[in-house]
Amino acid sequence: MEDSGYIELLDRALKQIPEIGVERSDFVVPDAEVLVQGNKTVLKNIVVIADRARRSIVEIAKYLTKELGVPISNDGQQLFINGRFSTDEINRRIKRYFDVYVICKECKKPDTHIESGGRGMSYIVCEACGARYGVKS
């Protein structure tokens, strides 16, 4: 085979290869459905948020308690937050929870789980890329 024929075949093959771009992720942090009732704020869709995060409602409630500085209770379907908080405030805190405790810092995928490390430390382990890093419990 001649060099020019070989180069033409290579050029034709390269044109048929799809562009390699940034991998898109369909993962979206769910928006909070918040209802303010008197002096309490109700987070109505905590089950959806916990399912998307692959974390328990108790873990998310514990985080929100620390962040907001108020007691939180739940009935299994909703979180009851003592105090009046806007939807934007709750959404910011939930997004931050996902950034710190759910989404992998290496590959940016939400396929993680938390392993206890003792002494107040936990480790986030990514199931997609294998990264492991510590976070404070």
Q: What is the mean pLDDT of residues 40-64?
A: 94
Give, as one character, the DSSP assignment of residue 134: E
Measure the CA–CA gap between 47 and 134, rounded to whole angstroms.
26
Tokens of 135: 């976070």
Q: What is the pLDDT of residues 71-80, one digit of tens each?
A: 999 998 999 9
The answer to which of 3-12, 80-89, 102-111 has the lowest mean pLDDT is 3-12
Task: Say if residue 40 is exposed, middle or buried (CB neighbours under 10 Å; 0-12, 13-18, 19+).
Answer: middle
114 with 136, same domain: the answer is yes
What pLDDT is attached to residue 24?
56
Task: Say if residue 76 is exposed, middle or buried (CB neighbours under 10 Å; 0-12, 13-18, 19+).
Answer: exposed
User: What is the span of the domain harbouring residue 88?
Assistant: 25-102
Q: What is the CATH number of the domain that holds 32?
A: 3.30.30.170
Q: What is the pLDDT of residues 14-42, one digit of tens each?
A: 888 877 655 556 788 899 999 999 999 99
What pLDDT is attached to residue 137?
66
124 with 81, same domain: the answer is no
38 with 80, same domain: the answer is yes
Which long-range contacts link 129-132 to residues 24+ away (Cβ below 8 Å)? Answer: 129/104, 131/104, 131/105, 131/106, 131/107
Domain count for the chain, please give it.
2
92 with 44, same domain: the answer is yes
